[in-house]
Each structure stands twice: as C-alpha cells, then as structure tokens.
C-alpha cells in the first residue's frame, strides 16, 4: 500500500513511558509545550537521546511567542511544530520561512467551515482537525467526521479527537484520500501523559486493519 494512514501519539512526557511507546514505532510523537496543559512537559524536559530518529518529533504550542517556538524547535530538534491557538497566517508564514515545518490545528464545531483553511495552505505542511472546545487542548471526544468528506485541499491532514480502537473503523471512506494520519492522546492513557502500552498495541492493530480496508481509496 502506497499511503498508509500514519500514527501520531501526542502528550508524551515521562522518559520511561516514551521509551515504552517508542517500541511500537509510531510515525510521530508529540510533546506539549503549553504550560496550562495537564500534559505540559515542564521547564526541565528534554527529548530522550534514545528516541529513534524514525519517530518524528512534534512540539505543540498555543499562541506562543514566535521567538520561543523557534528556540524550542532548535533546543529539542523538533521536526514539526503544531500550532493549537489563534496563530495568524502571517505568523505561520514567518515561522515557515525559517525552515520549520508546521501543523496547523482547527477546531471543528458549530460555525466551522473548511474554507477557513484556505489562506493557510501555502504555509503549512499539514492541518489537524480536532473537536472544538472552550479554551485549548483536546476534548477526548469525536466530532462529526463526515464534515471532512468535502475536503479537497492540497494540504493533507491529521484527524484528532476521541479516536480509539473501537471507533477508528467509522472514519468515512470518502474522507480518507487526504487523511495523512490520526492523532491520539487521552484515549491511550492510564493518567495524563502516561500511555498504556496495551492500548497502544490494540490501537495500532486496528489502524493496520483500517489501512487494509481503505487501501483502494488511498492508492
């Protein structure tokens, strides 16, 4: 299969747990640099040197100062920065011009329109669609995934929000052509920032089945 749906596991913090989860070889691992998150990595955090290079490092930021994002990207050798706030097109453009790859997040809820993504398209690598909440961060709940059936943009996207082994098969087939990956966090957890290896294994198994199921849509 040419284009498997990738796996991003977000909200990692504890070194021992990072090591456990890395054995499952997710495509991306996310670290949250937003101080108000329950999964905030903290001031003394560093990405373990043992993290395999094959796992892409993603730093999650919310309305952070441009210089701070740049500094943390350099310090932690981030492959991507995920912008979860109200970052403007100009902000994304200036950050991208420094060589940083960007994942821009959009909350999907009442009043959301796919047209909101259009002006960001030249400046980001991926979009991420999550369930809209008051404030910032994940909700652990799904939104109406059929909304994405109308997405035809040139920028592939991640799907997030309450995805787990029991519902991943419900992704509408007509929306998977532009689906780059799924972003999972709280549904895999024992406690905030601590993932259960058993749940990771079960989810990865179901994702493999989904990739087989959707092969003809993604060739």
Q: How far apart are CA 30 and CA 12, in angstroms?
A: 6
Q: Which of 23, 24, 63, 59 is nearest to 39 (CA)?
A: 59
Is 10 marked active-site?
Answer: yes
130 is catalytic: yes
Find the catalytic residue in 130, 134, 164, 183: 130
**Cβ partners under 8 Å of residue 157, min gap 6:** 126, 127, 128, 129, 148, 151, 178, 179, 180
Measured between alpha carbons, how far is 215 from 181 in angstroms, rounded to an integer?
14
Give yes or no for a contact between 130 and 174, defined as CB atoms under 8 angstroms apart: no
The residue from 10, 110, 164, 183 that is catalytic is 10
C-alpha distances in Å from residue 134, one per residue of 6, 25, 64, 204 = 28, 33, 18, 30
The pair phi, psi for residue 136, each rounded to 5°, is -130, 155
What are phi and psi for residue 194, nearest 5 degrees? -120, 110
Structure token pair of residue 41? 């990595």
**DSSP letters for 66-95:** HHHHHHHHHHTT-SEEEE-S---HHHHHHH
Catalytic residue positions, numbered: 10, 130
């Amino acid at each position: 299969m040419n284009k498997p749906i990738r796996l991003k596991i977000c909200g990692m913090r504890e070194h021992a747990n990072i090591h456990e989860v890395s054995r499952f070889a997710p495509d991306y691992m996310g670290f949250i640099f937003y101080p108000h998150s329950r999964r905030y990595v903290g001031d003394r955090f560093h990405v373990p040197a043992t993290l395999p290079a094959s796992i892409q490092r993603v730093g999650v930021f919310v309305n952070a100062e441009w210089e701070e994002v740049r500094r943390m990207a350099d310090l932690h050798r981030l492959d991507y920065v995920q912008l979860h706030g109200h970052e403007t097109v100009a902000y994304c453009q200036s950050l991208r011009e420094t060589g940083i790859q960007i994942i821009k997040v959009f909350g999907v809820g009442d009043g959301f329109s796919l047209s909101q993504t259009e002006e960001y398209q030249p400046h980001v690598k991926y979009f991420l669609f999550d369930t809209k909440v008051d404030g910032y961060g994940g909700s652990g709940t799904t939104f109406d995934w059929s909304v994405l059936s109308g997405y035809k943009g040139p920028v592939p996207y991640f799907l997030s929000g309450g995805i787990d082994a029991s519902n991943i098969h419900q992704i509408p087939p007509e929306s998977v052509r532009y689906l780059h990956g799924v972003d999972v966090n709280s549904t895999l957890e024992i406690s905030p920032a601590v993932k259960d290896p058993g749940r990771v294994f079960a989810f990865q198994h179901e994702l493999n089945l989904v990739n087989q199921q959707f092969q003809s849509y993604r060739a």
